[in-house]
Amino acid sequence: MTEVPAAVRDPATLDLSRSRRLHVTNVGGAGMSAVATLLAESGHVVSGHDPAASTPFLDLLAGRGVAVSTGTERPLLDGGVEAVVVSTATPPDDPHVAAARDRGVPVLHRAAALAALSAVRTTAAVAGTHGKTTTSALLTTILSGAGRDPGWVVGAGIAHLGRSAAWGGDGPLVVEADESDGTFLALATDVAIVTNVEPDHLENWGGEEALREGFRRFVAGVAGPVVLCADDPGSAALLPAADRPLTYGLDPAADYRVVDPAPWGTGVRFTLRHVGEDVEVEVPAAPGVHNARNAAGALAVADALGVPLADGVAALAAFTGVARRFELRGEAGGVTVVDSYDHLPTEVAAALAAAAWGPWQRVVAVFQPHRYSRTAGLWRSFADAFVDADLLAVTGIYAAGEAPRPGVTGKLLVDAVLEAHPWAHVAWLPTLDDVLVWLGGVLRPGDLCLTLGAGDLTDLAPRILARLEADR
């Protein structure tokens, strides 16, 4: 049997059947602040520490009653703490971790905390190499609009709900189930969806087959229906592992079939066909065929949870987007600036295809590769990912904490693109300052400027808009 990442091999568990006093490390980050929020809102006494002096999540945590300290100097760990929750990024010599171990207090990974939370209510897990955040947000929107009072923990803020995590009421808990460190294997899952399975995070899994085996184990462990994408070979390959499989997608044999997807304002519209019933679906603020699939998958999961398709479709009218998922950042000088988190080849291609569907005269794309390990393993796979961009700039790699690797730069992607498409308009611009100067020379009214990547490229959008305003 394939080993799973270390994050889910800790034998310690967390019993949340009564109120606990808990401490969360790296609490100012997106993932850990979400866990702290759920723990606090579900009735536990939560404290936390983050080395950063300030993060966007600290005010939210304070509003939920979480006692947070920041900075390099940590206060002593409270003597009443019953467990310390850590992230993959928490170093083993963290003072609070060391203090807990000295006292015999359990030190648990974030996965264990999510497992404990999922064990106390019906849980819908959204898994897949990409598309998880948008699909989770769509599912949460459906359940909320249908009066199911869900909780949720999603990888980015859901715009109309104003936050990325909430315990909610008595309805299902929607969990964006992360495969990167094996967290999804720890969850107590009642119904699930797998959007796709492609090579990623192989440095954590030890190889592609180990990753795929991890998904098989996840699917086999789901107590109820598992919704699989019929259009994705990796997801469809999981059918034999599921006890109660359902399928969705454009495939004519899909249980929930997407028919005739087409642009609809800033989103997508399509017909969803299921057991002889056709419903017309309109999804605001989520353009592209890939988001038609995401919406179909979310509707299928909601249907499995007892929400009729018609009610789910009506609830989607409230959806106004997700942070950093084809997010409109502004317009200036006739140029529309959109930022998107997409950083894998299939994701990038889907985002650019959605952009090409839009009303813009040209698509000017900027891509920031993410992690040296990922770039080293996947750079050739980006050769055809940018075909829908009229102009493309590739930046230096966002390290995400990794050490540089000799010979691994963003230039590898440029070489791959030009080898496959010799006449492509591609610029190799190592720094974001270089990109800003280049954009100043090429952008013109009617363009879409689309920034793509999971790193700090997102910070470029306001600078682009300011420069466009100054040049007017």
Q: Looking at the annotation, which residues are catalytic?
A: 132-133, 176
Same domain for 309 and 187?
Answer: yes
Same domain for 360 and 390?
Answer: yes
Q: Decide which of 54 and 466 is more confident.
A: 466
Task: Find the CATH number of the domain harbouring 417.
Answer: 3.90.190.20
How confident is the model at residue 2, as a pLDDT?
A: 42
- Of 77, 109, 141, which residue constitutes the final position of a domain? 109
Same domain for 270 and 155?
Answer: yes
Give pTM, 2 decimals: 0.86
Can you give the residue range of the structural domain that contains 246?
121-318
Same domain for 195 and 295?
Answer: yes
Q: Is the pLDDT of residue 93 over 60?
A: yes
Least confidently predicted of 74-78, 180-184, 384-388: 180-184
How confident is the model at residue 30, as a pLDDT?
A: 85
Q: Is the pLDDT of residue 416 over 90?
A: yes
- Of 298, 318, 338, which residue constitutes the final position of a domain? 318
Average pLDDT over residues 106-119: 92
Same domain for 332 and 187?
Answer: no
pLDDT in tens, 32-56: 999 999 999 999 999 999 988 888 8
Q: Is the pLDDT of residue 420 over 70?
A: yes
Within-domain flag for 12 = no
How confident is the model at residue 73, as a pLDDT?
A: 85
pLDDT in tens, 249-292: 999 999 999 999 999 988 999 999 999 899 999 999 889 899 99
* Count of domains for the chain: 3
Same domain for 189 and 100?
Answer: no
Q: Is the pLDDT of residue 12 over 80?
A: no
- Of 74, 109, 144, which residue constitutes the final position of a domain? 109
* 3-state secondary structure labels for all residues of the chain: CCCCCHHHCCCCCCCCCCCCEEEEECCCCHHHHHHHHHHHHCCCEEEEEECCCCCCCHHHHHHCCCEEEECCCCCCCCCCCCEEEECCCCCCCCHHHHHHHHHCCCEEEHHHHHHHHHCCCCEEEEECCCCHHHHHHHHHHHHHHCCCCCEEEEEEEECCCCEEEECCCCCCEEEECCCCCCHHHHCCCCEEEECCCCCCCHHHHCCHHHHHHHHHHHHHCCCCCEEEECCCHHHHCCHHHCCCEEEEECCCCCCEEEEEEEEECCEEEEEEEECCEEEEEEECCCCCHHHHHHHHHHHHHHHHCCCCHHHHHHHHHHCCCECCECEEEEEECCEEEEEECCCCHHHHHHHHHHHHHCCCCEEEEEECCECHHHHHHHHHHHCCCCCCCCEEEECCCECCCCCCCCCCCCHHHHHHHHHHCCCCCEEECCCHHHHHHHHHHHCCCCEEEEEECCCHHHHHHHHHHHHHHHHC
